[in-house]
Amino acid sequence: MIKAQNLTKTYGAATVLNIENLEIPKGQCFGLVGNNGAGKTTFFSLLLDLIQPSTGQIINNNVQVNTSEDWKPFTSAFIDESFLIGYLTPEEYFYFIGELRGQNKADVDALVNSFEDFFHGEILNQKKYLRDLSKGNQKKAGIVASFIGSPELVILDEPFANLDPTTQIRLKGIIKNLAANQNTTVLVSSHDLSHVTEVCERIVVLDKGELVKDIKTSAATLKELEIFFSGAEAPDAAVAVFEDEE
């Protein structure tokens, strides 16, 4: 579904992203992890044609994203609050997105109502504008809006941040279901290693813009990631960490 080739992004002398080759097949639940400045949001922004690549390109479903706009109908995303329209109520926002994606009111209502659990009674019929909702509730609205119109590719940047524990657990279920049952490709980035390993079947680690790990998730993945991010890459060093813990 997604092919990135020789993709780099540089600002002056600094290279913030350098991916030689990355392919994500359709229906995969793909996790992206890395420290601040690793290039996660840069990659997502390139995918959405919000910034221009310095070299290379991204092909989304046979559409080169920086030359054609034809990827827009089947792609949706929630990156940050700049994807929300603050002066609308959540309902109005859902309808607006729905209209842009060719869904009528009834379609949107049906979809949104199926997320009643996830909303936990804090989104619908609150007589509040999105800008007056808490960060967590804004996120809930933004995430659900990205599901409107059955997109084939959903991009979520740090969807677990700011959510309360109950909602985090529900979101994990929703994302797994999307990829497994609806053949939707889901791209998720997160700083929470246990969440991504639980949800994603494949995890890619970015470090200073470079792709350093590409793991098919297994029972050992979480440990592997924890060792990597504790700053002890070499096996010897890993042992040292364990010894410290004892």
Partner 1 sequence: MGFFALYFIVVFLSMGVGSFYLIKKADMGDPLEVVNKYLIYLFVLDLLIRYMLQKMPVANIKPLLYLPFEKAQVVNYSLGKTIASFFNWGYAFFFLPFSIVLLIEGYNPLGVVAWHFGIFALIYCSNFINILVNNKDSVFYPVIAVFVALGACHYFGVFDITNYTAPFFNGLYNAPWMVIFPWIAVIGLYYAAFNYFIKNMYLDAGLQTKHAIAKTEDLSFLDKFGSTGTFLKNDIKLIKRNKRPKTAGLMSFLFLFYGLLFGSGAVEVYNGPVWQIFGGIFVSGGFLFTFGQFVPSWDSAYYQLMMSQNIKYRDYITSKWYLVVIATLISTVLASFYLFFGINAYLAVLVGAIYNIGVNSHLVLLGGAFIKMPIDLTSNKKAFGDKQAFNMKTMLLSLPKLLLPMIIFAAGYYLVNPTTGYVLVAAAGILGLAFRNIVFNKIEKIYKKEKYKTIHAYKQKA
Binding site for partner 1 (CB under 8 A): 48-52, 69, 72-73, 75-77, 79-80, 82-89, 91-92, 96-97, 99-102, 126-129, 131-132, 149
Choice between 120 and 128, CB closer to partner 1: 128
> Which CB sits closer to partner 1, 94 or 228?
94
Whose Cβ is closer to partner 1: residue 62's or residue 66's?
66
The candidate with the shortest Cα–Cα distance to 46, out of 1, 77, 81, 83, is 77
On whether the CB atoms of residues 33 and 203 are closer than 8 A, the answer is: yes
Q: Shortest Cβ distance from residue 16 to partner 1 (Å)?
A: 14
CA distance 223 to 67: 41
Q: In Å, what is the CA distance from 241 to each residue of 10, 41, 145, 210, 233?
A: 35, 30, 43, 25, 11
Whether the Cβ atoms of residue 59 and residue 3 lie closer than 8 Å to each other: yes
Give 88 or 212: the residue with its C-beta nearer to partner 1.
88
Output the smallest distance, CB 195 to partner 1, in A: 24
Strand-pairing partners, residue 9, are 17
Count of other CB atoms within 10 angstroms of residue 2:
22
Shortest distance, position 208 Cβ to partner 1, whole Å: 22
Give the nearest distance from C-beta 87 to partner 1 in angstroms.
4
Neighbours of 161 (CB within 10 A): 15
Shortest CB 70 distance to partner 1, Å:
10
Question: Which residues, 6 or more positions from 129, have their beta carbon under 8 angstroms from its beta carbon?
Answer: 86, 87, 88, 89
The residue among 77 and 204 lying less far from partner 1, judged by its C-beta, is 77
Q: How far is the CB of 15 from partner 1 (least distance, A)?
A: 18
**DSSP β-bridge partners for residue 203:** 31, 215
Q: For the chain, what is the total number of helices (H) and then of strands (E)?
A: 9, 10
DSSP 27: T
